[in-house]
Structures are given as structure tokens and as C-alpha cells.
Amino acid sequence: MTLRTRLLDQAVGRAMSTLSATAKKGLGDPALAELVVIRASQLNHCAFCLDMHLALARKHGVSEQQLDLLAAWEEAGDVFGERERAALALTEAVTVLTDGFVPDEVYDRAAAHFDDIRLAHLVGLIIAINNWNRVMVGRRIPPGGHTT
């Protein structure tokens, strides 16, 4: 498994960073943001992204138990609250589009926990990390080397 290329157009990188930062800011919940970003990175198998965001999650005070059980959050009892579960269900639906759409029950559940503005930013964040996942996996960027 070797690196393919580190090239990334500067304007693309800047726009992606802005996209992530504005979405995260609008969501207004840094710990939840990291849970969402890590779950998407697990689904997309992005090693670089997992390495970086696990470090960030710890920095934002996400518990080791939540990080350990994130891949099985649905079966993890009360380790995750209803708001977190609604966000994680939405993350999975928006990330795995190729199996078909975002079901009404998943969308409505998220809409019950997040107002329109936060929901728009939550989806923006899920999409931003999906974008990073593709750009990192596509170029096979190895884990490590981030500045967190």
C-alpha cells in the first residue's frame, strides 16, 4: 500500500477546508461533529481521516467508550443519546447513497432533533467529510502527518 500522489490543487484544498469549517461551526457541537466525521470515515475506509479525527475527538472530550463503540452505535445501548443516534443514522444514510436514497424515517428523526439551520449544517458536514474521504482514499494518503 503505497502513496499515489500528494498533489491537491490549492484552491480545491482551501474550498474544502472552508466547507468543513463553516459546516462544523453552523452545527455548533464539536464533539458530535467528530462522531459524525469518524463514522463516515469508517464507512468510507479512510485511514488518514480516522487517524486525524480520532485525535480531534479526544481533544474535544469524546469518551473512549463512545469511540470504541461508534462502529456499533445502534447496538451500544445508552452510550449514545437520541440526538447522537439521529445524527449517526443520518450520517450512514447520506454516506451510503449507492444502496438507495435517504429514507423518510431517518431524515424525519434527524429533523426532530435539529432545527432547519443545524440540520442543513449537519448534512453539510457529512458531505464535507465524504469529500475528504474520497480525496484521501483516491490518492491513498497514509495515516499520520496531520496537524491536530
Partner 1 sequence: MGCFAPRVEIMTTTDSTDSTAGTTTTEYTPERPVRLRWAEHAPEVYKAMIRLDTAAKQGLDPKLYELVKIRASQINHCAFCVDMHSKDALAAGESVERIIQLSAWDESRHFYTRKELAALELTEAVTVLTDGFVPDEVYERAAKHFGEAELAQLISAIATINAWNRFGVTFRMAPGNYQPGQHK
* Interface ranges with partner 1 (CB under 8 A): 4-5, 7-9, 11-12, 14-16, 18-19, 22-23, 26, 43-46, 93-98, 100-102, 107, 111, 116-117, 119-121, 123-124, 126-128, 130-131, 133-135, 137-140
Between 14 and 59, name the residue whose CB sits nearer to partner 1. Answer: 14
Distance (Å, whole) CA 113 – CA 85:
10
Q: Which is nearer to partner 1, 31 or 137 (CB)?
A: 137
To partner 1, the closest distance from the beta carbon of 22 in angstroms equals 4
What secondary structure does DSSP assign to 74-119, as a single string? Answer: GGSGGGS-HHHHHHHHHHHHHH-GGG----HHHHHHHHHHS-HHHH
- Are 40 and 124 spatial neighbours (Cβ–Cβ below 8 Å)? no
Min separation Cβ 102 and partner 1, Å:
5
Q: Which residue has the cell 459546516?
A: 23
